Amino acid sequence: MNTGLEDLKPKALWKHFQAIAAIPRASGKEAAARAYVLAQAERLGLKYEEDGVGNIIVRKPASKGREGAPTAALQGHLDMVCEKNEGTAHNFDTDPIRLVRDGDWLKADGTTLGADNGGGVAAALAMMESEDVAHGPLEFVFTVDEESGLTGASEFPSGVLRAKYFLNLDGEEEGTLCIGCAGGLNTVARKAVERQPAPAGEAWRIKVSGLQGGHSGLDINKGRGNALRVVGRVLETVLDRLRASVAEVQGGSKHNAIPREAFAIVVVKAGQGATLESIVSAIEAEVRSEFGAFDPDAKITVESVARPVEVISAADALAVTALLTALPHGMLAMSPDVPGLVQTSTNLATLAMPEGAVEFGTSQRSSIESSKLATGRMVATVFGMAGFEVRRAGGYPGWKPEPKSEIVQLAQAVHKDVLGSTPELVAMHAGLECGVIGEKHPGMQMLSFGPHIVDVHSPSERLKISSVEPFWRFLTALLERV
């Protein structure tokens, strides 16, 4: 397929981008992409090393006269998110990405494009072979399995990098420099519940739906409703006013998502259905008013269902309801260093009722490690007061913003000189590989940037072609001034 990219500059970057797009590289299946990187290193006569999970480090000596410059590392991840539109015939294990140029945008034919992080990897490969840039000693870091859980970064060995400056090429917005990210922690709580025969009466299913949900980091400060909190609010009133019994409560689907839907099945005395509907209707009006434009389509419905055989004990029902209403959720602190950045948050993410038990899933985030751990302890304490056993899972470190660091100050100056504008300093309330790898190399100064990409992780993913050449000019100029 003719993509119309053959005459774009820088030619080396676009050459590698097209080559990478032709290589299947789903998370955990990066073998062919790794082979391509190693082949380039061998072709160029560069030394490299691999670790136990498949990460690669390639080292390139300094240009003549720059031997005394500090070492800089360029880093990107080899894997991509594999999503396709319904009806698109594509096998991500065998088929190349079909590139389509649409004006100033490059996209794929019905699938994700893989510009996240194909653009950054291509830039690193182009720099590996460049003879035109007067750079100091360079390290090129290619990680695996970033998209499904930062696995490559988590298993990356400590102390192997010599770099003073770490340049992550996984940014997605032109005109910005990312200087920090949140660390994460999952706090999970479980408790055995007592089940007993359901009392006589009517059974009703209460469902919360219509909420937007969203990413538990990037969207946590947008005022959106949490379906589990809402269903807890309903249960609190129903248990108090109707002395209802609870058969089931569930909601949420992922630890890193704000729950959009939740439901509960309750048993009330015969004839109380109308009162239940009135209670639910009143609470629906309240939450709609409270959420306003943040979540305008919030809905709470009630439908009659078959009476269950069993319900959980009254004490267990009260404990679950109390947690749904008392557990902290949402933004807890803003960053004092980066305007508009959420520094610390917690997300009440999931509630499930596996056989004989009830299990809550929550996630905590902060760009300050001590704040992340303190928030996890706070959530664990609340669970403990309700008699739940608590465990931690999936922790990874954050990256504290340092807007006055040498590399940030230098990058701003270079951006101004080369591209004519001062870049905006931003940070993400989500995980990046910088935080994980940086923790293993204390004192290493970090920065993240890249060409402009929109709608990542979806078949609508697009790379802005006109942003690539300025990205390259900035990268090369920065390396020449490091």
Which among 305, 288, 287, 308 has a CA at the least distance from the CA of 296?
Answer: 288
CA 351 from centre of chain:
20
Residue 49: how many CB atoms within 10 A of its CB?
11
SS3 percent helix, strand, coil of the chain, rounded to 5, is: 30, 30, 40
How many other CB atoms sit within 10 Å of the CB of residue 380? 19
- Residue among 79, 116, 433, 461 flagged as catalytic: 79
Query: What does the alpha-carbon distance between residue 411 and residue 171 come to, in Å, rounded to a whole number?
Result: 14
Task: Report the candidate in 159, 170, 165 with the shortest Cα–Cα distance to residue 72.
Answer: 165
54, 46, 21: which is closest to 127 by C-alpha?
46
51 given a catalytic annotation: no
H or E segment and range at residue 322: helix 314-326
Show the beta-strand stretches assigned E in 198-259. 202-209, 214-215, 245-251, 257-258
Active-site residue 146, yes or no? Answer: yes
Structure tokens at 179: 């200087």
Is the CB of residue 471 less than 8 Å from the CB of residue 9?
A: no
Please state, in angstroms and rounded to a whole number, the distance separating the CA atoms of residues 353 and 186.
Answer: 18
Strand, coil or helix: what is 82?
coil
Terminal CA-CA length for the chain:
40
Rounded Cα distance between 336 and 145, Å, is: 32
For residues 37 and 142, what is the distance between their CA atoms, to the nearest angstrom?
A: 8
Q: Which helix (H) or strand (E) holds 357?
A: strand 357-366
In whole angstroms, what is the distance from residue 23 CA to residue 96 CA?
6
Phi, psi for 87 (deg, rounded to 5): 90, -10
Number of CB atoms found within 10 A of residue 42's CB? 11
- Amino acid making up residue 372: K
Instruction: Indicate the SS3 state at residue 304.
Output: strand
Backbone phi, psi, residue 77, to 5°:
-105, 145
Give 115's contacts (C-beta < 8 A, 6+ positions apart): 17, 106, 451, 453, 456, 461, 462, 463
Q: Which of 30, 139, 146, 261 is catalytic?
A: 146
- Categorise residue 356: left if φ over 0, alpha if ψ from -120 to 50, beta otherwise: left
Residue 369 exposed, middle or buried by CB count within 10 Å (0-12, 13-18, 19+): middle
Active site amino acids: 79, 146
